Amino acid sequence: MSWNKNTVDCSHIDSIVTTLQQLGVPYSLSVMKELVGWGLNDDIPSTAAPFSVERLFPIRRLEYKRFVLLERMERTTDCDTDDLLCSYPFDFEDEPADWKYEITEENS
């Protein structure tokens, strides 16, 4: 068994914010929660060696015009399968009230 899990940022929020800024479109960006990454790429070496600092991922909400994007960390219990930070678009009136910031798929 190997341990090759990483956290992969698949969110579109950063690129959409850049485009909105370039176009001068007003938007609202907020952090709903912060989660610790479980991947090998989530240990950040600190200056107080031999310690490392865990990487935090902000789970964000982007609102512009009549649209909302929500982020979620999609994890798996498998030690080799990457965890994904994903974003999902919604029309403003269809934004889920009970959004799950994190989901974990159990692997057997």
Which pLDDT value is given to residue 70?
Answer: 98
Average pLDDT over residues 12-37: 97
Assess if residue 30 is contained within a domain. Answer: yes
Assess if residue 2 is contained within a domain. Answer: no
Distance CA(32)–CA(59), nearest Å, equals 6
Assess if residue 45 is contained within a domain. Answer: yes
SS3 44: strand
Cβ–Cβ < 8 Å for 91, 24: no
Residue 83 has pLDDT above 60, yes or no: yes
Residue 108 has pLDDT above 80, yes or no: no
For residue 38, what are the domain limits?
A: 7-100
| % the chain with pLDDT above 70 | 88
Report the helix count and the strand count for the chain, using DSSP H and E.
1, 8
